[in-house]
Amino acid sequence: MNHPVRPIAESEFPAVCALLDEAFVSSWAPGQIERFKGVTEFDRSLAAFDGDRMVGYTQVMSFDMTVPGGVLPVGGVSAVGVLASHRRQGVLSSLMRRQLSDIRDRGESVAALYASEAAIYGRYGYGRAVDNVFYTIPKHSSAFRPDAPVDPALRLRVEPPENVRDEFVKLFDQVRTSRPGLYTRTPARWNAVLADDDNARHGSGRLRCVLAEDDQGVRGYALFRVKRQTTDHDVPDGLVDLEELFALDPAAYALVWRSVLDRDLCSRVFAGNRPADDPIMHLLAEPRHLTAGTLDELWIRLVDVPAALTQRVYSAPVDLVVEVDDDVCPWNAGRWRLSTAKGTCEPTEDAPDLSLPVRILGAGYLGGRSLESYRLAGQIAEHREGAVRELSAAMSWSPLPWGGLVF
């Protein structure tokens, strides 16, 4: 069926909210709608129509994202939804293909998204590039190692988040370039981070903030909520729900964590989205009590393969021919010689050293995914022995990537 796709006008925003409310089986409060509107770029929206009715939607958010060795403009794909009545009719494919073409025309070589369902986006060339960890730390087993870093110049300050917004925004901007995946936050995005209505609280208390600082300024902060609870015998059993924690140095990081872990009337801390290499696991004297699980976080799509591969740096030299399969963005398909010494990625007729789908290049792009594991899974064809290991080593990066905040 033919479903025309076009950007929406601001006057059509209520129809977008109604569509997404239905597609995500949600019920948005007025505050959520306003926050969503604040991060919507109407010229980067796309809706599909059946006659006059909107039946599918997606949008892109413009931001800069840290990649290995630098920062790139990236298209942040969000709010993808299709009405149940119009699934399996090509609506999503039309939206995705048009969106990727628009991103390329905008001069962005990389697209990124958070997937509500992990099975969807691989077929459009997105690769699972980042894992996060979620974990619970019981207070009774949260002692730090005796060699945990300490700086006597540091002190803690407790403030309502709205009173110190400028201070932790400044700190986040200092930290942002230190880890692939972190991205710029507009004032509207910060409004969403600091939202504190009932929908944002999810049954917990108000948003709280603690900062670690010295005489030169803030060096770390945490945003968190506390869910007050007691046992059947009226023993305090509260839960600290950590929203985010950033610091400029190890001592500030340790002090902020110590403050979060030592909250009175609480028995445990839950962190729902932390980097896979979060240093907290090395500070705990009993790390086995950090009960962790893993989820997919950022998905990355190389929209312009040669541009993307030359816009990052590499951990080791490599010179090889990569054959890319990409039936969604055919301009990427073919053989490319990647030479880190020359800083080039150019089309070639030379025999390939390895062949792979574009989604695997996206999965490895931020440096957090071993390509060798894909070869062992039979998803990369290696034509020259050792070629996959060479490319995987070159693309690897430390620290591991992490986006930190769903967009």
The model's pLDDT over 272-284, given as tens digits with 9 standing for 90+, comes to: 999 999 999 999 9
Instruction: Quote the pLDDT of residue 2.
Output: 86
Has residue 1 got a pLDDT over 80? no
Instruction: Say yes or no: domain 5-108 is CATH 3.40.630.30.
Output: yes
Q: Where are the alpha helices (DSSP H) in 86-164?
A: 91-105
**What are the boundaries of each domain within the chain?**
5-108, 133-294, 305-395
* Exposure b/e, 325-351, CB count within 10 A at least 16 = b: ebebbeebebbbbbebeeeebeeeeee
Strand partners, 67: 70
d(CA 206, CA 203): 10
d(CA 172, CA 170): 6
d(CA 401, CA 399): 6
The model's pLDDT over 238-272, given as tens digits with 9 standing for 90+, comes to: 999 999 999 999 999 999 999 999 999 999 999 99
Phi, psi of 35 (to 5 degrees): -65, -40
88's CB contacts (< 8 A; 6+ apart) are none
For 253-258, which contacts have Cβ atoms below 8 Å and span 24 or more sequence positions? 253/149, 253/220, 253/279, 254/144, 254/148, 254/149, 254/150, 254/283, 255/150, 255/151, 255/154, 255/156, 255/212, 255/220, 256/156, 256/210, 256/211, 256/212, 256/220, 256/221, 256/222, 257/222, 257/283, 258/144
| Assigned fold of 305-395 | Nonspecific Lipid-transfer Protein; Chain A (3.30.1050)
Has residue 185 got a pLDDT over 90? yes
Reduced to 3 states (helix: H, G, I; strand: E, B; else coil), residue 83 is coil
Instruction: Say yes or no: domain 133-294 is CATH 3.40.50.10610.
Output: no
Has residue 7 got a pLDDT over 90? yes
Q: State the pLDDT confidence band at 194, using cuts at 50, 70 and 90.
A: very high
Whether 305-395 and 133-294 are alike in CATH topology: the answer is no
The model's pLDDT over 279-330, given as tens digits with 9 standing for 90+, comes to: 999 999 999 999 899 999 999 999 999 999 999 999 999 999 999 999 999 9
Instruction: Quote the pLDDT of residue 202.
Output: 87
Reduced to 3 states (helix: H, G, I; strand: E, B; else coil), residue 374 is helix
Instruction: Quote the pLDDT of residue 57.
Output: 98
Q: State the pLDDT confidence band at 234, using cuts at 50, 70 and 90.
A: confident
Mean per-residue pLDDT of the chain: 96
Report the length, in residues, of the chain. 407
Q: Give the β-pairing of 238-247 and 127-128.
A: unpaired
Reduced to 3 states (helix: H, G, I; strand: E, B; else coil), residue 263 is coil
d(CA 43, CA 304): 21
**DSSP class of 43:** G
Reduced to 3 states (helix: H, G, I; strand: E, B; else coil), residue 235 is coil
Q: Give the β-pairing of 381-382 and 354-357.
A: antiparallel
Q: State the pLDDT confidence band at 403, using cuts at 50, 70 and 90.
A: very high
The model's pLDDT over 145-164, given as tens digits with 9 standing for 90+, comes to: 999 999 999 999 999 999 99
Over residues 57-62, the mean pLDDT reads 98
The model's pLDDT over 94-137, given as tens digits with 9 standing for 90+, comes to: 999 999 999 999 999 999 999 999 999 999 999 999 999 999 99
